[in-house]
A = this chain, B = another copy of it.
Amino acid sequence: MNAASRRDANAGTLDTGFLEGTLGFTIRLCQLNVFDDFIDRLSGLDLRPAEFSILCLIADNPGCRASRIAECLCIKRPNFVPLLSGLEQRKLVVRRRSETDGRFQDLFLTALGRRVVTKAKSVVAEQEQYMADRLGPRKRDELVNALRMVARLDLRADREGWRVKES
């Protein structure tokens, strides 16, 4: 039973009008459903969503600094350390101290890491394709575009006493 059907099972007579009409609540339900399935599909490769994202970014940006990957994924640096250490212990990733600046660590995939991320991407692509088939390609693209737009909104811009100098 997935999140959606578990929820629907007994909620038939509940008035959920206000919540279901909000973006915040529908985003949460949507994320629960998609992530539950995502985690399930990738469990065979023993990859959590964060680990998959890290491997993807290193695959497409070999030699990138660790802190940039963490930033791009909105993962705080202290929390990024054990994630990377785990991937390195599993021989999927190598950390190499930068030659030009000893503070940085440049990240690379191992040959095994490249094989794993290729397989993982194809598994994720299946989930994405399944959702695209159900939504239809147009609605699917509109959904991704709308989500990107909301993700980039500065939601605090309409409130006072907030904007301390940004730069």
Q: Which residues in A have some Cβ–Cβ distance to B below 8 Å? A: 1-11, 14-38, 40-41, 49, 53, 56-57, 60-61, 64, 67-69, 71-74, 121, 124, 126-128, 130-131, 134-135, 139-140, 142-144, 146-156, 158-159, 166
Contact = CB atoms under 8 A, between A and B. Distances in A.
Given A26-B151, A29-B147, 5 more contacts: A4-B152, A23-B143, A36-B155, A40-B156, A143-B143
Given A2-B155, A7-B71, A149-B135, A64 B14 contact: yes
Contacts of A30: 27, 147-148, 150-151
A111 B81 CA distance: 48
A2 B19 CA distance: 24
A29 B151 contact: yes
A143 B151 contact: no
In order of increasing CB-CB distance, the 4 nearest A-B pairs are A37-B155, A29-B151, A26-B147, A143-B146
Q: Would you call the interface of chain A mostly helix, strand, loop, or mixed?
A: helix
A156 B49 contact: no
A20 B14 CA distance: 36
